[in-house]
Each structure stands twice: as C-alpha cells, then as structure tokens.
Structure 1
C-alpha cells in the first residue's frame, strides 16, 4: 500500500503528459526502497470543475496525496516526500515558468484497523 493520487485541473491536459508523470512518480516511489512493487498505485484524476486563486482561466493545480501504511520513520516519510516532490517539480518545470500553477503534496498514514485489502498481484510478483 502506497496509493498516490494526483487531482489536477482540466486545463493541464494540453500541457502535461499525465501518463508520463504517473510513471515518473511510480519510479520514484520504488526508488525509495520503502515500498513493495505489488502495492504501488499511482493515478491522476481530472477535475472538470475548479476555482483557483483569482479565477484566471490559466490558473491550474495538481494536488498530490500519498497514502501509506504505518511502519516508516518520520525521516523515511520525509525523504520519500522530498524525492516525489522533486521528481514532479522537475517534470513540471515549464509550468513553474508561468505565474499560474500551484503544486501540493501531503503524506497520510492509513490506520490499519480501518483499512481492508485483498491483492492478487502480490503472490505473482513475489514468485519472481
């Protein structure tokens, strides 16, 4: 279980390779060494309706949420967050050249007592 979700303003469709961004984040998550391959999920969710700052139509955003299970130190979580944020910031460098883009990331720990999972991918990947 790490689930990484990006909610993004629909006006970014023409300027951001979201599939490429998802793959870049996926690779960064794995490179931390903190998460098992079969557990990683990265997705982008398009927001059709949004209102950003002073409501200029050029304003856009990506709000990132990284939900992880307990068991990592504060330092490990900080390092993972910094690595992910650096990857995304570099990927989106052209957007930061404009005064119309906002990026956020929050890491949340999941309460294991209130989380149910069933994963048929783990056994296949663990065989190799």
Structure 2
C-alpha cells in the first residue's frame, strides 16, 4: 500500500498518455513526507494503476456541450487512493493535496481540449485481511533497519 487506482472513460485513451499520468502520480506520491520529513509512502509499495471503461454514459451524453457549441464527447476519470491506517489527518491531507495538484497538472492539457469530470477520493483502512508478500519491497529496504 498505497494503491492509487484510476478508472476512466476509454474515449480518453486517444488524447492522453495514461502511462505518463500513472508515472507522474506515482512520482508525486513518493514526495509526500510526514511531519518529521520522512517519506510517507514506501517506494516498493507505491502503485498507480489505470483502467479504461470501454462502456460508459456521462451526464446528458453531450447535449449541453453541443448546445454550447462544443464537442459533445464527455470524459471522466475517477482516482481512488487506498492507504493503510496509522497516518495522521494532516499527513492524509498533505498526501491528498500533493496528488490532487499533480493530477490537475497532468490532466490540465486534456481539460483545455474537452469536458472531463474528475473525482479524487482517499480511503483509509480498516483492512479485514492484509497480506503482503513478494520480492519488490526488499529492493528498497537496502541500508534501512
């Protein structure tokens, strides 16, 4: 953990490099620090995943945009950050502000071209079951005790 999942309308694929958005958001997440200046999210646990929705209906289907003289092809992106418990509200807010700022910058050029609804939410535990295994984390633990 943390995992940031992006669900978005598939019509955005032709206009935005979602891999670059994922990398930019992951990089932003890795800059978040706590009150002592320590990195909040472990490098090896930070994940950003994006899934296009091939089927979607958004708002009025574009009628309002067409009436305003714009293209009626709406888009959306829903960003959901899931993080484990134990971080203060101030740290959670700092993480949210950092990620939201990065998302606004990364989606900015798209927003300049078309109508897109963006939502970002953060969810924090409680987990019913939480198992972590694999060999990625140790790569980033070298020199740490």
Equivalent position SS for 2:30:
helix
Structure number, greater radius of gyration: 2
Q: Which residue in the other structure is 2:84 paired with?
A: 69
* Shift, 1:99, TM fit: 5.7
* Shift, 1:75, TM fit: 1.0
Q: TM-score, normalised by structure 2?
A: 0.82
If each structure's helix is expressed as a fraction of its own residues, which one has the higher value? 1
Q: Which residue in the other structure is 2:67 paired with?
A: none
Q: How far apart, CA to CA, are the structure 2 residues paired with 1:49 and 1:84?
A: 27
Whether 2:58 is the aligned partner of 1:43: answer: no
Whether 2:136 is the aligned partner of 1:127: answer: no
Q: Which residue in the other structure is 1:107 paired with?
A: 122
* Shift, 1:126, TM fit: 0.9
If each structure's strand is expressed as a fraction of its own residues, which one has the higher value? 1
Count of equivalent residues? 128
Q: CA RMSD in A?
A: 1.5
Gaps of 5+ in 1: none
Q: How far apart, CA to CA, are the structure 1 residues paired with 2:109 and 2:127?
A: 39
